[in-house]
């Protein structure tokens, strides 16, 4: 009899413990649906304090995941089996995701803070009327360099990177469009070129750059350049601004042959489970104080006109990172080149990377 009581007691304790574990999982890992929000963003692309603040104000638990390329992000969303509520693709990826039915239309009535975005960043060709996407950050691709390590020879063009004095001195951003685009631009071709001869020429030209390339790296490129591990880096503008705030000797230039002008926007992917929360989050990020705090933290340029008032003049007034429309006229925005051509760019980039190793 005693044994039976003990057994019942044991069963009671075990099931109670199980119930407790399940309910904790629900509340901390977001299995309870409505009260969680899964965000999929580039690495190093948000001030973590803003996530905490959003959670506090909304009572929604955020699950935050990162990616390091548009291609990786799109593959993951297209595969399904994920529950991303908000993602942050670049313009050509938005166009492709629209084509593949991977995005949900936004309810602008739930985004009153949209009025703070500079009209220059609205209604762009990849998403007319901003049906699917809301501006987050924007910028260029260029060269960050350390004048002290270059004997005063400042690079002004892509072709300067082929200088034999730069042996093993260049770090490249790990991006297919960026690196192939640099090869194309150095030959005065468009970075949206689809002509196979031009692409092969660009690949050939890039292969002659390899003795100068120290490494192709992700977000650690900022730390390496700030620590003077290399003289030159090909980077997104916001990374340059972040590097330069760490090491004031460095400078940033957009090469004279031309380069890329890009826009990263917030979207709600088809995989979303919490539409209400997703709109709440997007609107939260559009709040001028939050957009300014985010821009100051990550170093990227905000499209939020009102947020500029909250940023120090040395940031908002820096033309290297806030070029006016006249200055960006000669730059090109990536086009959605279609599934096959995008894969081809990726293959060419992979071949370049293998060559490098």
Interface with ligand N2P (CB under 6 A): 42-45, 90, 219, 236, 262, 264
Residue 87 or 166: the one with the smaller Cβ distance to ligand N2P is: 87
At residue 245's C-alpha, the angle toward residues 243 and 249, to 5°, is 80
CB of 294 vs ligand N2P, minimal distance in Å:
12
Residue 92 or 145: the one with the smaller Cβ distance to ligand N2P is: 92
138 burial via Cβ count (<10 Å: 0-12, 13-18, 19+): buried
The Cα 61–Cα 271 span in angstroms is: 17
219 neighbors 120 (Cβ within 8 angstroms): no
The Cα 215–Cα 230 span in angstroms is: 9
Residue 54 or 236: the one with the smaller Cβ distance to ligand N2P is: 236
CB of 89 vs ligand N2P, minimal distance in Å:
9
CB of 297 vs ligand N2P, minimal distance in Å:
12
Residue 219 or 276: the one with the smaller Cβ distance to ligand N2P is: 219
The Cα 299–Cα 109 span in angstroms is: 30
Residue nearest to ligand N2P (CB): 42
- The β-bridge relationship of strands 36-42 and 213-217 is unpaired
Residue 84 or 262: the one with the smaller Cβ distance to ligand N2P is: 262
CB of 20 vs ligand N2P, minimal distance in Å:
39
Residue 43 or 80: the one with the smaller Cβ distance to ligand N2P is: 43
At residue 142's C-alpha, the angle toward residues 141 and 147, to 5°, is 155
Residue 136 or 189: the one with the smaller Cβ distance to ligand N2P is: 136
For tokens 């972040």, name the residue: 242
Q: In sequence order, what are the beta bridge partners of 133?
A: 267
31 burial via Cβ count (<10 Å: 0-12, 13-18, 19+): exposed
The Cα 17–Cα 231 span in angstroms is: 58
The Cα 53–Cα 207 span in angstroms is: 47
CB of 141 vs ligand N2P, minimal distance in Å:
9
Residue 141, phi-psi category: left (phi > 0), alpha (psi -120 to 50), beta (remainder): beta
CB of 275 vs ligand N2P, minimal distance in Å:
25
Residue 45 or 281: the one with the smaller Cβ distance to ligand N2P is: 45
267-301 burial by CB neighbour count: b if 16+ within 10 A, else e? bbbebbebeebbbbbbbbbbbbebbbbbbbbbbbb
Q: Is 92 annotated as a binding residue?
A: yes
CB of 222 vs ligand N2P, minimal distance in Å:
9
Task: Provide the token pair at 301.
Answer: 């340029």
Residue ranges of the annotated binding site are 92
Residue ranges of the annotated binding site for spermidine are 92
């Amino acid at each position: 009899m005693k044994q039976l009581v003990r057994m019942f007691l044991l069963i009671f304790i075990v099931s109670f413990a199980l119930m407790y574990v399940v309910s904790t999982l629900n509340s901390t890992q977001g299995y309870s649906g409505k009260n969680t929000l899964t965000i999929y963003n580039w690495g190093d692309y948000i001030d973590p304090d803003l996530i905490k603040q959003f959670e506090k104000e909304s009572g929604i638990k955020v699950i935050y995941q990162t990616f390091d390329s548009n291609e990786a992000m799109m593959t993951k969303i297209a595969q399904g089996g994920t529950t991303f509520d908000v993602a942050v693709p670049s313009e050509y990826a938005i166009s492709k995701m629209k084509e593949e039915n991977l995005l949900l239309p936004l309810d602008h009535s739930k985004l009153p803070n949209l009025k703070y975005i500079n009209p220059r960043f609205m209604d762009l060709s990849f998403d007319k009327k901003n049906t699917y996407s809301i501006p987050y950050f924007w910028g260029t691709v260029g060269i960050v360099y350390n004048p002290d390590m270059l004997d005063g020879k400042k690079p002004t063009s892509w072709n300067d990177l082929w200088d034999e004095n730069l042996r093993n001195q260049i770090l490249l951003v790990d991006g297919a469009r960026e690196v192939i685009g640099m090869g194309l631009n150095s030959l005065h071709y468009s970075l949206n070129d689809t002509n196979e001869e031009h692409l092969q020429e660009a690949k050939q030209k890039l292969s002659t750059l390899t003795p100068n390339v120290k490494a192709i790296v992700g977000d650690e490129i900022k730390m390496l350049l700030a620590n003077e591990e290399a003289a030159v880096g090909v980077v997104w503008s916001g990374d340059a601004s972040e590097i330069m705030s760490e090491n004031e000797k460095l400078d940033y230039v957009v090469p004279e042959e031309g380069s890329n002008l890009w826009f990263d926007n917030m979207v709600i992917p088809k995989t979303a489970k919490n539409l209400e929360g997703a709109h709440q989050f997007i609107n939260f990020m559009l709040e001028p104080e939050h957009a300014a705090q985010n821009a100051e933290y990550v170093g990227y340029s905000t499209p939020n006109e009102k947020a500029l008032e909250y940023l120090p003049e040395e940031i908002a007034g820096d033309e290297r990172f806030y070029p006016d429309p006249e200055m960006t006229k000669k730059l090109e925005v990536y086009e959605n080149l279609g599934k096959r051509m995008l894969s081809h760019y990726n293959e060419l980039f992979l071949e370049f990377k293998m060559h490098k190793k």
